[in-house]
Every structure is written in structure tokens, then in C-alpha cells.
Amino acid sequence: MVDFKNPSNSLGLKIKSNILQIIYRFVYTIFEMINPFRKPYSRIETSREKIVFILVFGLFIFLFLFLFKPFGLAQLKPVSQLFVSLGFGLVTIFMLSIFKYLLEPIVVKENWTFGKSLLWGLLIASSIGVANYFYVSILFPQIFIFKYFFICNLDRYSGWNHPGYNRLYYFV
């Protein structure tokens, strides 16, 4: 790998020409502009900001699910819709609290970059998704089939023929 900060080539030979040093610095600048994932990214959040973020995000999940009723929630009774949607919001709040208060102080260090922050956000979103999946499997035990854990967006009209397939959409 070529170190663009040090104006020498990958063999360790010193570059004596000013033109080659200028080209090296230009390539280094382009490399830094193209790769934004290595740029420093500071995350200074107060405790109040964390609490507001967690509560607003959980409230958004609850309201979105309760108002739009995706994923077969419209087939439930209205009271069940309320409690199931509220449960998803509470699971989201619980998982965000674990990540923001327990894990983030351990994981996030001084040399935090934009790329690490992006991966951290993907890990949080994936963990919330897994927790919600287990919440659904506890709430409706007949739909928990572990070998189908990674199958997303099943379409009941796709012709996929499985004995327990119809139960995925008819919870009550």
C-alpha cells in the first residue's frame, strides 16, 4: 500500500522531483475526498439528548405501526393493534437504551470515524430488528420458525407453498 502522506513510492525510494511530489499530494487529496469513511466524526451527546432521541424514535415506531397498520396488523382487533404497536415501540426504546447507555460508552472511542458510525448504526438497526422478531415470536408463537429467520418480505401470493405459510398472515 502506498503511503500518500510520505512522498516516497511503495518500494521506499525517495521521490526527488517536485513534480512527482505535487502529483503524489494531489492523488492523496483525491483519495481523502473519495473516502469519506475515514474522516473523523465526533459524537458528543448529552444525557438529555439521548433520552429525547430514544423516546422520539420509540414514539415514531409506535405511531407509524398503529396508524398505517403494516405487516398484517390490520387483521388484529383494534385493542390488539394498540398493544402490539406499543410493544414494538417499547422494544425499540429498550434496545436503544441498551446501546446508548451501556454499549456506546464502551465502544465509541476518541478515534471515531464516519465509517465506524455508519457500521454502529447498522448494528443498532439490526439488533432492533432481531429483538422485534423475537417479540413477534413470543406474542404469536405459531409463527416462530427459526429456519425462516432470515427470509424477509414473504408474499402470500408468490406461490411459495409451505404448510405453516398461511399462519404468517393470520395472527388472530
For the chain, what is the mean pLDDT?
Answer: 78
Q: What is the pLDDT of residues 30-44, one digit of tens each?
A: 777 777 777 777 777
pTM: 0.66
Flag whether pLDDT at 24 surpasses 70: yes
Examine the domain organization and report whether 21 and 75 are in the same domain. Answer: no
Residue 36, pLDDT score:
76
Q: Which domain holds residue 130?
A: 47-141
Examine the domain organization and report whether 30 and 103 are in the same domain. Answer: no
Instruction: Report the alpha-carbon distance of residue 164 to residue 156 in Å, rounded.
Output: 11
Closest CA to 140 of 104, 63, 87, 92: 87
SS3 state at 133 = helix
Q: What is the pLDDT of residues 117-162, one digit of tens each?
A: 899 999 999 999 999 988 988 888 765 566 555 554 444 444 455 5
Instruction: Report the alpha-carbon distance of residue 162 to residue 120 in Å, rounded.
Output: 36
Examine the domain organization and report whether 105 and 52 are in the same domain. Answer: yes
Examine the domain organization and report whether 66 and 103 are in the same domain. Answer: yes
Beta-bridge partner residues of 40: 113
**Cβ atoms 160, 149 nearer than 8 A:** no
